[in-house]
Amino acid sequence: MTPTVISIPLALAPVVSVVIPTKSRDRTLAALASVAGIASCGIALETIVVVNGAPDVAHELRDCTRGVRIVESRVNRGLPGAMNLGRASAVGEFVLMLHDDSLLSPEWLSVTLAAAREHPDAGVVAGTVLSPDGSLQGVGWLIFSDGITMPPWRGEPPPASAFSVARRVDYASSSALLVRASNWDAIGGLDERLYPGYYVDVDLAFATRRAGSCVLFVPGATSHHVKGASTELAFRTFVAERNRPVFLAKWADDLAELPPPDTSLDLAQLIAAADQRPLRVGGVVPVHGSPFDDEWYEATAATLAADYARHLEEQRSADSAAQVVEPAAQPTPRASMIRRLARRLVRARASGRCRPSPPANRSGGLCRR
């Protein structure tokens, strides 16, 4: 079946440049359909799709889109590299960073853009992120001194209405972010060492704060995010743990000012502290060396694949070693009594002094004799 052609107006002087990194035609078409929806608000847009090492996908997207610029990378650059490549050809005042498994509500851009205009110190603006089932996934996040993050709630997610006030946050998910282009350029873009992703959005937030701006959450801008649609959980966890030391080393001084990972800390105070965290006006953003060339990505991808295969093998070996025969548990008094009765029964039957036993108790209890 021929896919529906998606048309998005392409402005000559765009205010917002939408950048979507991808390797999937179907997910991208769904994301683009939502971008077509926000285009109806009248904001001048350009839409850039960066295809990560998937030439067939690039060809298919060209056939079924209009007004969308397709940028191809010969290699898979992951999230940060693809976003930097898209930004290199973007001319908008703002960059809308959008994952291919995210869907924007029609009002998302008008709400975030209005917030950015109202708060010139906001280098990044984020909205409410929902899971496909409608449950709350993100409204900005908290981070502790060890680099571990958590949402601003404990237990099951509350309704989105629980977060109805704009506030500064430690960071926000990169699934849908409005980034001021001047802020993007001031921090040198995204750190491509965090390939293929994970800790990219946290690093973006820390760099933004170091450059004198903040990450702002605003209610009313809703998106839906599948979360991990392109990778399995085990790989995501491995990559996050692999990238965390890079992040910790880069931001050691800033992390030292944050609270320790103490679950007893008052949640309201943590949220308030993030909202009031001072900006580092005139601060120096660490240099990370991006962008990298195709050869770097090919070598890094090969190393990552080998390390992950080794990790899985070590995990399987550890699981096999754990499957040893456990020593028999010491019998409880009740079990000892049952065994003594059983031995007596065997001896009694052998001597011919035993009558047939009554039927078992239907309630599951021990049958009285």
CA distances from 95 to 86, 175, 272, 300 (A): 9, 13, 28, 27
Average pLDDT of the chain, as a whole number = 88
Map out the domains of the chain as residue ranges: 11-307
- The answer on pLDDT for 24 being more than 60 is yes
| pLDDT band at residue 351 under the 50/70/90 scheme | very low
CA atoms of 45 and 28, how far apart (whole Å): 17
Euclidean distance between CA atoms 357 and 367, whole angstroms = 9
Q: Looking at the predicted structure, is the pLDDT value of residue 354 above 50? A: no
Q: What is the pLDDT of residue 264?
A: 81
From residue 286, alpha-carbon distances to 192, 197, 204, 293, 359 in Å are 13, 19, 12, 20, 79
pLDDT at 337 over 50: no
Among the listed residues 288, 188, 300, the one whose alpha carbon sits nearest the alpha carbon of residue 239: 300
- Find how far residue 220's CA is from the centre of its chain: 21
Paired tokens of 240: 């996050």
Does residue 134 carry a pLDDT above 90? yes
CB 215 within 8 A of CB 140: yes
Helices (H), the chain: 25-39, 55-63, 78-88, 108-118, 181-186, 200-210, 233-250, 252-255, 267-275, 294-322, 333-351
Q: Which fold has domain 11-307?
A: Spore Coat Polysaccharide Biosynthesis Protein SpsA; Chain A (3.90.550)
Residue 353 has pLDDT above 50, yes or no: no
Residue 196, preceding bond cis, omega within 30 degrees? yes
| Mean pLDDT value of segment 102-127 | 98
Sign of CA dihedral 13, 216, 238, 98: negative
pTM above 0.95, yes or no: no
Q: How confident is the model at residue 232, as a pLDDT?
A: 86
Residue 284 has a pLDDT of 83
Q: Is 50 exceeded by the pLDDT of residue 361? A: no
Determine contact, residues 45/156, Cβ cutoff 8 Å.
Answer: no
How remote is the C-alpha of 1 from its chain's centroid? 33
Q: What pLDDT was estimated at residue 279?
A: 84
Give every CB contact of residue 157 below 8 A, 6+ residues apart in sequence. Answer: 135, 136, 137, 151
Helix (H, G, I), strand (E, B) or coil at 359: coil
pLDDT digits (tens, 9 = 90+) for 27-80: 999 999 999 999 988 999 999 999 999 999 999 999 999 999 999 999 999 999
Closest CA to 205 of 224, 184, 226: 184
The confidence score (pLDDT) of residue 2 equals 55
pLDDT of 271 higher than 80: yes
Read off the pLDDT band of 366 (50, 70, 90).
very low
The pLDDT, as a whole number, for residue 114 is 98
How confident is the model at residue 341, as a pLDDT? Answer: 43
pLDDT band at 346; cut points 50, 70, 90: very low
pLDDT computed for residue 323 by the predictor: 76
Per-residue pLDDT tens for 216-253? 999 999 999 997 766 788 999 999 999 999 999 999 99
Reading the block at residue 224, the tokens are: 């839906």
Q: Say which amino acid occupies 188.
A: G
Listing DSSP states for 118-180 in one string gives H-TTEEEEEEEEE-TTS-EEES-BEE-TTS-EE-SSSSS---GGG--S-EE-SB--TTEEEEE
Q: What average pLDDT does range 355-359 have in this prediction?
A: 34
Per-residue pLDDT of 205-219, as tens digits, reads: 999 999 999 999 999
User: Which among 191, 199, 244, 223 is positioned nearest to 80, based on CA atoms?
Assistant: 191
Cβ atoms < 10 Å from Cβ of 116: 22
Spatial separation of the C-alpha atoms in residues 202 and 101, rounded to whole Å: 19
pLDDT grade for 130, boundaries at 50, 70 and 90: very high
pLDDT at 347 over 70: no
**Would you place residue 261 in the very low, low, confident or very high pLDDT band (cuts 50, 70, 90)?**
confident
> Given this model, what pLDDT does residue 280 score?
79
**Is it the case that residue 3 has pLDDT exceeding 80?**
no
Instruction: Tell me what pLDDT residue 350 has.
Output: 44
Distance CA(30)–CA(36), nearest Å, equals 10
Instruction: Specify the pLDDT at position 230.
Output: 67
Which tokens hold the place of 74? Answer: 């010969």
